[in-house]
Amino acid sequence: MGLELDAVTKSYGSVEVLRPVTLAIADGEFLTLLGPSGSGKTTILRLIGGFTQPSGGRIRLDGRDLTRVPTNRRPFNTVFQDYALFPHLTVADNVGYGLMVRRTPKADIRRRVGEALEMVGLGHLPDRYPAQLSGGQRQRVALARAIVCEPKLILLDEPLSALDAGLRRQMQDFLKDLQRRIGTTFVFVTHDQEEAIALSDRIAVMNTGGIEQIGSPKEIYYAPKTPFVAAFFGANNCLRAEVTAGGTVRMAFLDLPVPPGLAPAPRPILLAIRPELVGLAPSADALPIPCTVETIAFAGATSHIALRPERAPAERLDAMLASARDAAALSPGDAVTAYVRPADIAFVEVAP
């Protein structure tokens, strides 16, 4: 059953910050709300947590209406962006706060707090105060505090954004592992695409107060459904094209037959091609595109090559190649042939 949002909206006065959102989150799922700031992702989290009231729609948990239930009676716990640890309480008292509030016997509190701290690797620091901890340790205390009450759902509001890159990677692995071990539903908010891809079972990409697309990381990455999603992940090739009456998809430097599953009605359309799927080596089913190399940007393991198709020099096609092998022999001005497999092209409908 899990958690359902049914046409939930939020407005402040005449400003609509969340268009009607309908979303079902399954038990045990790791769902990420991904989007730029102002896209409404934190608003959804706050509505689920009960920190703000929706302007319309219903929130249900296992069929039970939660819309008007106050925060303290919802079986959810939150990991706040800046952790929100109580500065006047020790690590153990912070973690045990929710149990203390529920009048759990003292011995049980001590045991469960100990277990939760062990689980996040802080079993040795129960008597420290938050001010005496590092950022990563505070993060773990906040996690322990959220899991110790065994909630139905844990809400995480950009919990890793305050950590430096190395620690962040480490905490990502830890979070994913923790979620697998305890089996609790995680709803995770972030603006970081890589983080979302690395952690999630499903990603809901948000933009301007609505969900653009929801699906597995691979679906979102390789088969974007809207121009925003196509452009949101990295330096994707987003190429303007047209479905013609003659049954082809025509763009400036390439004509393709309309693939099965795509409506044949004439209309403008967007083609999205991942730069790492643009190759310079011929293969049987790939379409050759004669190009000129414009720039080569070295980015460590890979290099980003900007190509100009000879048939349409105003257009641009980006390729991402292994620096050491494929990109090593290239220099700007070279004439090359790029190869794209039709199966690697995502056809993105453009809103009329």
Partner 1 sequence: MTGRSDVAPGVRAIAFVLVMAAPILLVVVPIAGFFLMSFWQMEGQQIVREPTLANYAAFFSSPAYWLTFLNTLSLCAQVTAVGLLVGYPVAYFLWQRRGRLRYVLLLLFVMPLFMSYIVKIYTMRSILGLNGFLNQALVATGLLDAPSLLFLYNRTAILITMAVIFLPFVILPIFLSLERIPANLIQASADLGAGAATTFRRVVLPLSLPGTLAGALFAFVLALGDFVTPQMVGGPTGFTFGRVIWSQFGLAYNWPFGASLGVVLFLFALLAIAVGGWAAARQRV
Question: What are the residues binding partner 1 (CB under 8 A)?
Answer: 49-51, 70-73, 76-78, 80-82, 84-88, 97-98, 100-102, 129, 131, 145, 149
d(CA 242, CA 73): 53
Q: Which amino acid is at 163?
A: L
Tallying the residues shown for the chain, one arrives at: 352
d(CA 53, CA 8): 10
Residues 308, 184: contact at Cβ < 8 Å?
A: no
3-class DSSP state of 117: helix
Which one, of 223, 211, 208, 193, lies nearest residue 349 by Cα? 223
Strands in 64-65's sheet, in edge-to-edge order, are: 15-25, 3-12, 56-61, 64-65
3-state helix, strand, coil in the chain (%, to 5): 25, 35, 40
Provide the 8-state DSSP code for 343. G
Residues 213, 35: contact at Cβ < 8 Å?
A: no
CA angle (11 as vertex; 9, 12 as ends), nearest 5: 160
Backbone angles phi, psi at 97, to 5 degrees: -55, -50
Which one, of 239, 248, 266, 246, lies nearest residue 352 by Cα? 266
d(CA 176, CA 164): 18
3-class DSSP state of 330: coil
Upper half-sphere CA count for residue 322 (Cβ side, 13 Å): 4
User: Is 161 buried (19+), middle (13-18) or exposed (0-12) by CB count in 10 A?
Assistant: middle
Backbone angles phi, psi at 282, to 5 degrees: -65, 145
